[in-house]
């Protein structure tokens, strides 16, 4: 299924952001890039996370991908936003299950943790997975309460 996606990174995640954006665009997805525009100038990850989350909560994109050095800072910033379920991960199994079971709407990756090839694989897995609902919805409702 073709989706509207949003992506952002700080300087530590710039390279994987660019690789992910190119791959997902080639797959036919519409990818809104909120920056940063280079990997050399130091920027503040919370501002990028907040901007990306606003795009999702306003319904302008279905899923988001945030990239920083480890993915941890971005996930902490994103999860402070109401309606966001962000997951930092570095393996394919978690990329699939965080959508299947947790209905995550933001993937967080670290450019110092995964290389471009792995980042693209994880992003494609995340975007391609679907929420299973059922017993998992009760837990999502508890998170949102």
* Cβ count near 130 (within 10 Å): 10
Instruction: State the virtual CA torsion across 125, 36, 26, 83 in degrees, nearest 10.
Output: 40
Supply the pLDDT for residue 1: 86
Do the beta carbons of residue 17 and residue 9 sit within 8 Å? Answer: yes
Note the pLDDT tens digit of each residue in 7-60. 999 999 999 999 999 999 999 999 999 999 999 999 999 999 999 999 999 999
Distance from C-alpha of 63 to C-alpha of 74, rounded to nearest angstrom: 15
What is the pTM for the complete model shown?
0.96
Note the pLDDT tens digit of each residue in 95-126. 999 999 999 999 999 999 999 999 999 999 99
68 catalytic, yes or no? yes
Full domain range(s) for residue 122: 4-144
Total domains in the chain come to 1
Task: Report CA torsion sign: 52, 131, 29, 24.
Answer: positive
Supply the pLDDT for residue 60: 98
Given the residues 11, 29, 53, 68, select the one marked as catalytic. Answer: 68
Supply the pLDDT for residue 85: 97
Domain CATH code at residue 79: 3.40.1400.10
Termini Cα distance of the chain:
30
Both tokens of residue 86?
């962000």
Closest CA to 122 of 140, 101, 141, 97: 97
53 catalytic, yes or no? no
Tell me the three state secondary structure of residue 6: strand
Distances (CA, A) of 44 to 11, 22, 25, 35, 87: 9, 24, 26, 11, 19
Distance from C-alpha of 82 to C-alpha of 100, rounded to nearest angstrom: 20
């Amino acid at each position: 299924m073709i989706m509207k996606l949003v992506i952002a990174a700080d300087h530590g995640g710039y390279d994987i952001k660019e690789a992910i954006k190119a791959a997902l665009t080639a797959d036919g997805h519409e990818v809104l890039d909120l920056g940063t525009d280079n990997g050399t100038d130091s920027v503040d990850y919370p501002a990028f996370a907040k901007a990306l989350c606003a795009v999702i909560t306003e319904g302008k994109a279905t899923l988001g991908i945030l990239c920083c050095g480890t993915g941890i800072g971005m996930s902490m910033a994103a999860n402070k936003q109401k309606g966001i379920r962000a997951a930092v991960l570095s393996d394919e199994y978690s990329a699939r299950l965080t959508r299947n079971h947790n209905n995550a709407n933001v993937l967080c990756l670290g450019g110092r943790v995964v290389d471009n090839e792995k980042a693209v694989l994880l992003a494609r897995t995340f975007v391609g997975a679907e929420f299973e609902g059922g017993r998992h919805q009760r837990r999502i409702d508890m998170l949102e309460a």
